[in-house]
Amino acid sequence: MGVYSEVIFPRFYDCVMDKPFWGKYRKEQLASVDGEILEIGVGTGLNLPHYPEHVRRIVTVDPNPGMNRKLQRRIEQAGIDVDKRVLSSEQLPFGDETFDCVVSTITLCSIPHVEQALGELLRVLKPGGRLLYLEHGLSPDEKVARRQRRWNWAQRMFADGCTLTLDVASLLTTQPFSSVDCDTFYMEQTPATHGFMYRGVATK
């Protein structure tokens, strides 16, 4: 990883994303989380203040060590015991059927081999375990989608590999989950190219 990924991007990302309106959606998405929890692509820990009070321990993975400074500060503030691992979700060092919930927020867009990562999430989820997701991706509005395709190169360059064109609903429904709930909407105060959101629960 280079200086941009490890030093500049974490600061820029945190500054742009640490907004109350995002917090509201994070809190709603985390409201039903329970049991053994894995958060993938934890980043700077923007979800940590929004876990329900009963959550006292989570495991996290993220391959970017540059996220760690701000993450550590949020861990201390949240008072949650976090077992943080600097690694990618395409290859997880956890046993089969370890977790009750996996949390993914604005992360699937950044995973280079996302289908492989979903295979790993399915492997480490217990039967009936849930993937709770809040992701941005490809808009069904052709005018917006055209802009997303046109500017994707810039997004990938400046947002550390993040893509604007992931069709999250199609991706999840082609994986062997027993059910996938998906709700879509445009995020407030966000350009349509970056704010078409998919949220829901995929159950193993």
Interacting residues toward ligand SAM by CB under 6 A: 17, 40-43, 46-47, 61-64, 67, 88-90, 105-107, 110-112, 162
- Which residue's CB comes closest to ligand SAM? 43
3-state helix, strand, coil in the chain (%, to 5): 40, 25, 35
105 vs 139 by CB, closer to ligand SAM: 105
88 vs 139 by CB, closer to ligand SAM: 88
47 vs 139 by CB, closer to ligand SAM: 47
Cβ 142 to ligand SAM, closest distance in Å? 25
91 vs 178 by CB, closer to ligand SAM: 91
Cβ 125 to ligand SAM, closest distance in Å? 16
- Count CA within 13 A, CB hemisphere, residue 153: 1
Closest CA to 155 of 146, 164, 143, 165: 164
What is the Cα–Cα distance from 1 to 29, expressed in whole angstroms?
Answer: 30
Cβ 90 to ligand SAM, closest distance in Å? 5
